[in-house]
Chain A
Amino acid sequence: MNDVTRRGFLGGLAGVAGVAGLAACAGGSTAPASGGGGGQAGTAGQIEFWSNHPGTSKPVEQAIIKKFEAANTGLKVKLVDAGQNYEEVAQKFNAALAGGQLPDVVVASDVTWFNFALNKQITPIDDLLATAKVDTSDYVDALFNDYNFSDKHYALPYARSTPLFYYNKDLWKKAGLEDRGPKDWDEFKAWAPKIKAALGNGQVALEMADGSNYLDWYFQNMAWTFGGGYSKEWTPTFSDPNTIKAGQFLQGLAKDGTVKFNKSPEADFSAGLAACIMQSTGSLGGITKDAKFDVGTAFLPGDGNCPTGGAGVAIPMNISDERKANALKFIAFLTNAENTVTFTQATGYMPVRKSAVDLPAEKAFLEKNPNAKTAIDQLAKTRSQDNARVLLPGGGARIGKGLDQVAQGQDVATVFKGLDQQSQQVFDSQVKSKLPS
């Protein structure tokens, strides 16, 4: 009894430390990984899977779990509603890190996983994969390598998405454009007057999410297309002339009214208010259902400059080896070719296995859904995101805020210089010392 209360008290203290991290950024914690003492507990043979059911995928997840349990007698998976978005899962996981009772598997997004890895809160899985003889070469390389940090992988890709260029075919026709997306941003600029001429009252040529809704994700494509980027390895490159040029391009589109920023561009697009948008592949199903016109999809402008996104599944560090092995068995099953097809067909995410597209079920599906095919074809042209956005704590929000300022007409060079400095500062103070030398 005495012991329990003392440990509870210590756990609480550690929790207080963890909260500072929580408050600073929902995605990461600066608490030491040793926070919770009770993490080792857990029922033998039970795998606790903390998921936010990305893309309202709870029924699919349950179906896959059923199959897993049938194939692995003695193992049970407990599916836990761990939040409504990736930030909430991270928050709940942080609480468990501080307070005990860790899950076996947790969903971690492209911006949350790295903090957990950096603080040794999720386990590297390469050895476990080798032991379980999982063929990692079948994973789409760009997606698998997103979780690579100092030569170790920390998660398996699960609910992965890329942005997609959506356009209103009816409006395209009216504007006299070919039935395809623009090759690059220059071509789009050339098209803009024609699109605008075809627009009705209250309609806009292009809509993009604002800075608090992942504009930083979509803009990455623009920056890359112009030859710039957010960073090279750990060095921020916002002040690179090409990045600045991209910023000025965005500002120009905003100034002449070609682009409008919005909380949820997909809603306006579905309502026919925007001629085209950049939006996650995850929205494909919803947009197709909501729109009362013919929806076209295309690669993002600029060849090979498509960022990836979404979430993977990771295994906590401080659980027993036996639990880790069971957990890995489960996530490998969850992301095998057959299941990734089941999952992605139900949600609109990308299959994470190369062999997935050869399965008859997927072939039939893509035949029926050419738009989904666009997304999968684009997978080959994806590029891993820049560290300054996904790996630096608070990176996405920081860049989003800067881009909002640019959109509102502030001097691009000044704003980007500020981003350089801030990113460098965060790296120096929060990341640098934890990197292996």
Chain B
Amino acid sequence: MSAPAIVGTIDEPPTAPPSRRERRADQNRSESSSHNRGPLMTTAGYVGMTVALLIVAVPLFWIIITSFKERGDIYVRPAQWWPNPATTENYHDVTTRIPFSNYFRNSLIITGVTSTVKIVLGVISAYALSLLRFPGRGIVFLVVIAALMVPNQITVISNYALVAQLGWRNTYQGIIIPLAGVAFGTFLMRNQFLSLPGEIIEAARLDGAGPLKLLWKVVLPMSWPTLVAFSLITVVNEWNEYLWPFLMSDDERVAPLPVGLTQLQNNDGVTNWGPVMAGTVLAMVPILVLFLVLQRQMIKGLTAGALKG
């Protein structure tokens, strides 16, 4: 092919946007100039940040050190700010006094399946309600919103009746299926999809993308941050879900961690808080890991290419 002369070579030099580090440096510079309010304000700012940090961190810190304390050291005055002597007895206790690994496995299964179903359902229903045209779309959306308005406590009992009829009490499906309703996800993702630039969707349609390809290759990649946030909220919610699994489960065969950990508390007497704290710490770890992994993804999504310059 001969290089066409018609197509000019005039173009502005390819000015790549400044790298992230440069941008950050810019921000810092502008911040330092605009925040140049003297040492008093700076000090106040740091004090404020420290207070906020303490409010968040101290209870967490307390949970962790308590989990390493001996029973007699938990209630002492003055308070012990470092376990002395430190012991892993509480962790041993958690894993032996209650069937911790069973509860943990159940939590993983229930949270994994429920979250996956919720996310998939939420995304595809939101997709249908935002980007596909079909008769009665508005009504369907109204019904979904109405479902969002019904308090959890109302549905619990009717769900209980239904699941009990099916003979699903104390089974995974009995816990998972009623939890998999997704009004919130539908609502959130629909609004996200509606906020996408319409021209890109149209471009993809003109480019011959079918509905699934449009969703998978175009719509979802652009909705990554929202999807990750939604997923994270869903997973954390499912992980901490108490009422329904408690009503449905009878023993450690299907009961998840939040239900199982209550076995450590003494309802009519003195609770030994050491193992409770140890159990809490162990229950936090998977969510913490997931958060750290997804958080990186979330930032990646946020900085991905914008529409135009």
Q: Which of A's residues lie within 8 Å of B, judged by CB?
A: 4, 7-8, 11-16, 18-19, 22-23, 36, 38, 48, 52-56, 58, 78-86, 88, 91-92, 95-96, 98-101, 159, 161, 202, 266-268, 270-273, 280, 282-287, 289-290, 292, 310, 347-349
Contacts and interface: CB of A to CB of B under 8 A. Distances in A.
A186 B53 CA distance: 49
A95 B77 contact: no
Nearest to B260: A81
B249 interface: yes
A91 B160 CA distance: 12
B87 to A, nearest CB: 15
Interface of B: 71-72, 74-77, 153-154, 156-166, 169, 246-247, 249-252, 255, 259, 262-272
Given A54-B267, A101-B164, 5 more contacts: A12-B158, A55-B266, A84-B263, A161-B268, A287-B270
B269 A11 contact: no
Given A18-B157, A22-B153, A84-B262, A95 B269 contact: no
List 10 A-B pairs, minimum CB-CB distance, nearest first. A286-B270, A15-B157, A12-B158, A11-B161, A84-B262, A99-B160, A99-B161, A271-B75, A282-B269, A80-B250
B154 A16 contact: yes
A267 B76 CA distance: 9
B246 A83 contact: yes
Nearest to B76: A271
A58 B250 CA distance: 13
Contact of B270 (A11, A52, A91, A290): A290
- Do most interface residues of chain A lie in helix, strand or loop, or is the interface mixed? helix
B103 to A, nearest CB: 10
Given A83-B246, A88-B246, A98-B160, A273 B266 contact: no
Given A16-B154, A286-B271, A92 B263 contact: no
B165 A4 contact: yes
B232 to A, nearest CB: 27
27 contacts: A11-B158, A12-B158, A13-B158, A16-B158, A19-B153, A56-B263, A80-B251, A81-B250, A81-B255, A83-B262, A84-B263, A85-B267, A91-B247, A92-B247, A99-B158, A99-B162, A100-B161, A100-B165, A101-B169, A159-B268, A202-B77, A271-B76, A272-B77, A280-B268, A290-B270, A292-B72, A348-B269
Nearest to B244: A95
Nearest to A78: B250
A274 to B, nearest CB: 11
A54 B161 contact: no
A58 B98 CA distance: 10
Nearest to A288: B270
Contacts of A283: 268-270
Contact of B164 (A22, A38, A58): A38
B267 A84 contact: yes
B77 to A, nearest CB: 5
B71 A289 contact: yes
B156 A12 contact: no
A100 B159 CA distance: 11
Contacts of B266: 55-56, 282, 286
A18 B154 CA distance: 9
A55 B269 contact: yes
A92 B246 contact: yes
Contact of B161 (A92, A98, A266): A98
